[in-house]
């Protein structure tokens, strides 16, 4: 898929990677907003610099056990770090581990020692290590031999690598906003983490892209009311080539989203009226102020809609909104 203009986000992340490590950076945003695409672009544009990226895209893998985690993060080699064979097109690295290590008997302290060795090997070569984990929340149910939570202990390691020792940048990407809420309130990470939102595409960017792709002014004006995510632009362009008008494409989107939403509500065990009450907050406004407009007893219904990717909770800014503009129109449709 074509990389659509995200210069502001790109410049922020490229600059961040070249600063002295001082905090963990959580890059978050609605599903399909382009977080991974932007991060991969950062890696490509810094190729040939003195930055060494360790990049792990956990959405590619089933990471339900410590053994799976170890095989994803480590490669048996005589080197402290080496190219990730599954990401050769990016030129990113994995942590090296000796051939005689038994993955089944490794303890967490052994794992962290090996990570530290790899990070220090990069630093000793005069380079800047950057560790990126995409969809970090997939590690939250993994426990090691001593019963320790892998994710909680990783946070301690990340704080040590960044804020305490200033050795390595750690960047975590996630679209799980309930996970962001958990980490935002994690005392271990207090004063040791930053948050960066990659949100919907800006209207001026959408307008420029559609103009470059040959859409006329009338089509662009119509689309600006409904487009918010990069993949929607790709779908719109493809459908136009297939002979569908922008109105037909967008009507299809909203119909599909409305049907999906009704099915989610109809098959839920929660009180249907309460779910509709939550959705009605968005009938006339696209955003809800969590602190001012949400009662404690309503949060379980909001969490249900967040888990089903109907709503996006920006915990850092205290905002609840649909995951996309087309989802907003689908909400409005089922409320009529």
Domain holding 309: CATH number? 1.10.10.10
Q: What separation in angstroms does the CA of 275 have from each of 181, 314, 315?
A: 21, 19, 20
Q: What separation in angstroms does the CA of 154 have from each of 12, 150, 169?
A: 25, 6, 14
Let me know how many helices (H) and strands (E) the chain has, helices first: 14, 11
SS3 content of the chain, % helix, strand, coil (to 5): 50, 15, 35
State the Cα–Cα distance between residues 167 and 130, nearest whole angstrom.
Answer: 9
Main-chain phi, psi angles of 283, to 5 degrees? -65, -45
- pLDDT the model gives residue 147: 79
Q: Which of 166, 197, 228 is at the close of a domain?
A: 197
- pLDDT the model gives residue 2: 63
Residue 70's CATH number: 3.40.50.300
> Which residues constitute the domain of residue 309?
203-335
Together in a domain, 178 and 280 = no
Together in a domain, 193 and 208 = no
In a domain? residue 98? yes
Q: Which of 161, 176, 197 is at the close of a domain?
A: 197
62: number of Cβ within 10 Å: 9
Q: Could you give the strand order of the β-sheet that contains 311-314, starting from the edge strand earlier in sequence?
A: 288-289, 319-322, 311-314
Together in a domain, 166 and 234 = no
Give pTM, 2 decimals. 0.93
Task: Using 70 as the pLDDT threshold, list the residues of the chain that sit under it.
Answer: 1-4, 63-64, 145-146
Domains contained in the chain, number:
2
In a domain? residue 1? no
Together in a domain, 108 and 250 = no
Q: Which of 177, 197, 217 is at the close of a domain?
A: 197
H or E segment at 51? strand 51-57
In a domain? residue 80? yes
Contact call for residues 306 and 181 (beta carbons, < 8 A): no
- pLDDT tens digit string along 116-147? 999 999 999 999 999 999 999 999 888 886 67
Q: What percent of the chain has pLDDT over 70?
A: 98
Together in a domain, 256 and 139 = no
Together in a domain, 184 and 60 = yes
- pLDDT the model gives residue 40: 95
Q: Taking all residues of the chain, what is their mean pLDDT, rounded to a whole number?
A: 93
Which tokens hold the place of 208?
């420029």
- pLDDT tens digit string along 37-90? 999 999 999 998 999 999 999 988 776 688 888 888 999 999 999 999 888 789
In a domain? residue 270? yes
Together in a domain, 193 and 207 = no
Together in a domain, 207 and 223 = yes
State the Cα–Cα distance between residues 158 and 170, nearest whole angstrom.
Answer: 7
User: What are the contacts of 32-35 at 24+ separation with CB within 8 A?
Assistant: 32/175, 32/229, 32/230, 32/231, 32/324, 33/175, 33/198, 33/199, 33/200, 33/229, 33/230, 34/4, 34/6, 34/9, 34/198, 34/201, 34/229, 34/230, 35/134, 35/173, 35/175, 35/198
Together in a domain, 178 and 245 = no
In terms of DSSP H, where are the helices of 97-229?
108-124, 150-159, 177-184, 203-212, 217-223
DSSP tag of 281:
T
In a domain? residue 323? yes
State the Cα–Cα distance between residues 328 and 226, nearest whole angstrom.
Answer: 9
In a domain? residue 2? no
- pLDDT the model gives residue 324: 97
Q: For tokens 């609605």, name the residue.
A: 30
Quick one: CA dihedral 303, 308, 313, 319, positive or negative? Answer: negative
- pLDDT the model gives residue 303: 95
- pLDDT the model gives residue 17: 97
In a domain? residue 136? yes
Together in a domain, 183 and 207 = no
Together in a domain, 67 and 145 = yes
Together in a domain, 25 and 132 = yes
């Amino acid at each position: 898929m074509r990389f659509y203009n995200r210069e502001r986000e790109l410049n922020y992340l490229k600059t961040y990677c070249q600063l002295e490590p001082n905090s963990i950076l959580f890059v978050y945003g609605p599903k399909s907003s382009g977080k991974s695409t932007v991060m991969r672009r950062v890696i490509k544009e810094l190729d040939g610099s003195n930055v060494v990226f360790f990049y792990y895209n956990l959405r590619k893998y089933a990471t339900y056990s410590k053994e799976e985690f170890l095989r994803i993060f480590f490669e048996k080699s005589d080197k402290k770090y080496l190219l990730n064979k599954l990401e050769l097109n990016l030129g990113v690295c994995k942590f090296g581990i000796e051939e005689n290590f038994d993955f089944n008997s490794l303890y967490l302290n052994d794992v962290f020692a090996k990570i530290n060795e790899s990070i220090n090997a990069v630093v000793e070569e005069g380079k800047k290590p950057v560790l990126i984990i995409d969809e970090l929340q997939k590690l939250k149910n993994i426990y090691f031999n001593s019963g320790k939570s892998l994710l909680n202990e990783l946070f301690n390691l990340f704080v040590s690598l960044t804020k305490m020792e200033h050795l390595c940048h750690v960047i975590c990407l996630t679209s799980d906003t309930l996970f962001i809420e958990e980490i935002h309130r994690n005392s271990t990470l207090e004063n040791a983490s930053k948050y960066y939102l990659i949100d919907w595409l800006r209207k001026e960017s959408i307008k420029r892209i559609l103009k470059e792709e040959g859409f006329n002014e009338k089509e662009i004006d119509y689309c600006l009311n409904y487009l918010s995510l990069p993949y929607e632009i790709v779908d719109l362009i493809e459908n136009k080539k297939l002979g569908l008008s922008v109105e037909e494409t967008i009507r299809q989107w909203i119909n599909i989203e409305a049907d999906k939403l009704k099915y989610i509500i109809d098959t839920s065990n929660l009180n249907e009226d309460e779910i509709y009450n939550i959705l009605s907050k968005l009938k006339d406004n696209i955003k809800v102020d969590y602190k001012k407009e949400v009662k404690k007893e309503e949060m379980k219904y909001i969490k249900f809609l967040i888990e089903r990717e109907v709503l996006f909770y920006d915990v850092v800014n205290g905002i609840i909104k649909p995951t996309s503009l087309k989802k907003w129109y689908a909400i409005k449709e089922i409320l009529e």
